[in-house]
Structure 1
Amino acid sequence: MSKKTALVVGAIIAIIVIYALNTDKKAAGASATGCKVTVTADVLNAREAADGNAKIVGKYLRDAQFDAVPGVQNGFRKVAENKWVAAAFTQPVEGSAC
């Protein structure tokens, strides 16, 4: 087997292994925070603070799922540093520790 063929085969195997590991995590509902939520609004604004008047820093569409910090502050869930969403428009994924 040539060096080039061995590199291509090795790369393909690496891609398959990485894909399989990520698929297993998703299937298990893995969440870094233990809390995963689904968006229930058509469009959900993400704001830079837990305040309805804070600057919009992103948007999520209905049925989007993402990790959140457990608990609610001032009606908002923290989903990342300086990124909050209105808790009323999210629903914890079944089995999630929100």
Structure 2
Amino acid sequence: MILGIPKRTLIILAVLAGIGLIYVLGMDKKASVSATGGGSPGCRVTVTADVLNVRSAPDPNAQIVGKFNQNAEAAAEPVVQNGWRKLAENKWAKTEFLKPVDGTNCG
């Protein structure tokens, strides 16, 4: 007995506390998924070019803000404009060098 509480009761309380913690963490994850577009997977793309420039706008003369190597996988948005896919705010790449990952929702 610890603090007047039988060992068996302490074990049961510890297990219940662990289950509660797992439940709370799982609920937090579900909230994040629903906040980013529900239960369906978001858009993800694979780069097919050797090196792909990411630009600040859907324009070949826009500033380069990043690069991806071939076979890199990245999150994207289902927004396509004039042959450019929006990857994130102020990040665009040519759709001809991006292949949507199977099972994702790229629109």
Question: What is the match of residue 66 of structure 2?
Answer: 58
- Misfit runs of 4+, over 3 Å: none
1:86 and 2:94 are equivalent in the alignment: yes
Question: 2:93 and 2:80 mapped to 1: Cα distance?
Answer: 10
CA RMSD after TM alignment: 1.8
Instruction: In structure 2, give the amino acid aligned to 1:88.
Output: E
Please report how far the alpha carbon of residue 71 of structure 1 lies from its aligned counterpart in structure 2 after TM superposition.
Answer: 3.2
Unmatched 5+ stretches in structure 2: 1-25, 27-35
Question: 2:79 and 2:66 mapped to 1: Cα distance?
Answer: 21
Larger Rg: 2
Unmatched 5+ stretches in structure 1: 1-20, 22-31
TM-score, with length taken from structure 1: 0.65
**Percent identity among equivalent residues?**
57
